[in-house]
Structure 1
């Protein structure tokens, strides 16, 4: 069942659970993640990141992810992750993404507000939800041009109030693409943000790098969406490597992918249960 962020995040923001947003790097991962959500009767967000957009294109990605969402017995949001160009965001909407992220985090505040609002007007006219980012969540690797800027509570209030967005990603010590839980969460900063921003669900990117105890604390705040990519990639990659090494005379890709999918499903189930 295809849904938007607006169908699933507001209730989570006002409760003590959160929704996982899982980056998808192929049909096999997407199917394993949806099956994990169905097994636990939990809503899920399937996200397409920039690497996948560059590789597959928006139209092909939309067809793949929407086929999984529309056939699912649970609520599935099909979300375009960090995107800096409006042209790609609008193309994603046209091809059926139910949610998009216009990432203006590298822009001056006024420009971020202006451009996010313009995208939001189009998104809402089409029944699509929109996420934005204030502050800037750094990357451990792969996005060297992305700054590391903690979210200002005053900027967060202005951005949430003036841009018409539906969910807001914040930077409070979280980092993209960490393989170990090394992030140090600034709860004083988070409290200052949540005191000012009371009407927009908050989003944390870089979940793999956050300790489980911190995730359990964060989900009880207005943080309602956690983005996860690295731990899912590790579940697929490490097990696929092991399985192929165990059977060097096998060459069928589907054979190995089907054997690796249960490990992705198990990791997705772990994440869902952690956030419930």
Structure 2
């Protein structure tokens, strides 16, 4: 069961929260990057999450199709087949889906899961993310509640976001929003929990100054204490309860900041920018070192051994896998896999 079912995934999440570690969630855009994540998780002996964004899914479907839902389904089916040969466990997520993309991305994926479940087959994805942060809090909660009602019926976890993650991802630029929106309030966290927890399992990407991308030191001011205050407010409003938190925009964060968030209930951290760079850096290195072989310079024929995509794509896969291993150690999940018999 390397691509886990809902029962096993919930068990994984509860264990991470109890033992104060988190699962890295790696955005992928191709079979090569998916392979890199699987290799890295295997090397680290860690379970983890493979996820895809709207832009990544459209890219994966190819220039001839350019369909988010079809690309996401193709990725999920590929990972489900290949992961079965590994001895670690993987969950499948979709990443940021803004309201305008629901009809073309998340809803068709839920419909596909409903069709498959009716035929006795597993879900396409374990979890979907609805990013309603551009909406007012009441509207965000309303839309999230409606979506979770449907997800829960098919044992799908819903990830939601309050506040705004800064920066730019997949063409969605939030650099113009006010700084106050980069920080979720305890009241917002309580309102979300009160509305969603009775419906089904959910994750909350509460913002605390996090930003997509990597920035020079000092340009991003993280305030993990916000997560602690929010969890305390939830526990006061609903004794004994707390939220499963997600850290978005984690690339470039200090180890100290990451570990602090784990103590406050973060069980998932998204990683994209750092792994993108690791993948591309290896290809760039190959091209610079083999410039005269990958190009037909001055009428020469080049060198098939170096312009064949396989050698440099293998280097890229290994480079990204190495970054995956590092992330597992940073998040304290290395060596914690439940194993293939989970």
Structure with higher Rg: it is: 2
Taking the aligned partners of 2:72 and 2:49, their CA distance within structure 1 comes to 17
Could you say if the C-alpha distance between residues 53 and 181 of structure 1 is closer, same or farther in structure 2, counting changes exceeding 3 Å? farther
Relative to structure 2, which stretch is displaced further, 164-173 or 125-134? Answer: 164-173
Instruction: Report the TM-score when normalising by structure 1.
Output: 0.92
| Farther-moved stretch of structure 1 (171-180 vs 261-270) | 171-180
Verify: 1:246 aligned to 2:289, yes or no: yes
Asked whether the 8 Å contact 1:179–1:230 carries over to 2, the reply is no
SS of 1:83 mapped into structure 2: coil
Structure 2 residue aligned with 1:232? 275
Runs (5+) with no aligned partner, structure 1: none
Q: 1:98 to 1:190 in 2, by over 3 A?
A: closer
For residue 55 of structure 2, the aligned residue among 51, 54, 67 is: 51
The corresponding residue for 1:275 is: 331
Match in the other structure for 1:61? 75
The runs of 4+ residues in structure 1 deviating greater than 6 Å are: none
Of 100, 108, 123, the match for 2:128: 100
Is 1:139 aligned to residue 176 of structure 2? Answer: no
Is the CA contact 2:275–2:323 (under 8 Å) kept in the aligned structure 1? yes
- Contact 1:80/1:92 (8 A) holds in 2: no
Aligned to 1:175: 211
Name stretches of at least 5 consecutive residues in structure 2 with no aligned partner. Answer: 62-70, 114-123, 235-240, 294-305, 333-342
Indicate how the Cα distance of structure 1 residues 92 and 13 shifts in structure 2: closer, same or farther if over 3 A, else same. Answer: same
1:116 positional shift: 0.9
The verdict on how the C-alpha distance between 1:89 and 1:41 changes in structure 2, with shifts beyond 3 A counting, is: same
Alpha-carbon offset, residue 145 of structure 1? 4.5
Q: Distance in 2 between matches of 1:122 and 1:7?
A: 22
Q: Name the stretch that deviates more: 227-236 or 117-126.
A: 117-126
Q: Distance in 1 between matches of 2:11 and 2:146?
A: 22
Q: How does 1:1-276 map to 2 (within 5 A)?
A: 1-3=2-4, 4=6, 5-55=9-59, 56=61, 57-84=71-98, 85-87=101-103, 88-93=105-110, 94=112, 96-140=124-168, 142-145=171-174, 147=177, 149=181, 150-163=183-196, 164=199, 165-180=201-216, 182=218, 183-197=220-234, 198-248=241-291, 249=293, 250-276=306-332
Are the aligned partners of 1:109 and 1:155 in contact in 2 as well (CA < 8 Å)? Answer: yes
Q: Is the 8 A contact 2:282 2:312 kept in 1?
A: no
CA contact under 8 A between 1:58 and 1:91: conserved in structure 2?
A: no
What is the CA RMSD across the aligned residues, in angstroms?
A: 2.0
